[in-house]
Amino acid sequence: MSVPGSTLEAVFEGIAGVVVDPGERPDRDRRMPVPAAALKPKPLPTQSTAKRPVLLELPCAPVEKRPLPPGRPRHWYVTHNRRLKAMRLAIALLDSGVYLPDQARNETIRSAAELIGVHPPSDTTCHMVRAFMRYNR
């Protein structure tokens, strides 16, 4: 479609030294780059997009626990473990389709704790779970 000596021909000649015959189209990969996101397969459905409820995927094996650093005050260890538990619960809630902190009542959080196999969280930990969901958006 290009006319010899036209601007279009000059543009294609300038791409990586490619000389385009006026009667031919350039190679497809040289005309338009494809974003990497277009090549990825579609993700699995989530609770909000599935026709039926999606089962919660539990990890195959628990992560190997490492000892905490010695010499810190007891309050530091309590807070650290509470944060870890709140993160696990927030992830479980997100996986089960609870995306907003307003949807995560204490009963909902405690049922998620039972589902993933941790002790029922205190009111303080439930508050921390909602805080994670609110500020990590």
pLDDT tens, position by position, 62-89: 678 888 889 999 999 999 999 999 999 9
Give every residue of the chain whose pLDDT is below 50, as ranges: 12, 14, 29
* pLDDT value, residue 64: 81
Please state, as a whole number, how many other Cβ atoms lie within 10 Å of the Cβ of residue 112: 24
Query: Which pLDDT belongs to residue 68?
Result: 86
Residue 92 in contact with residue 116, Cβ under 8 Å? Answer: yes
Cβ count near 101 (within 10 Å): 18
What pLDDT, on a 0 to 100 scale, did the predictor assign at position 84? 93
The pLDDT, as a whole number, for residue 79 is: 94
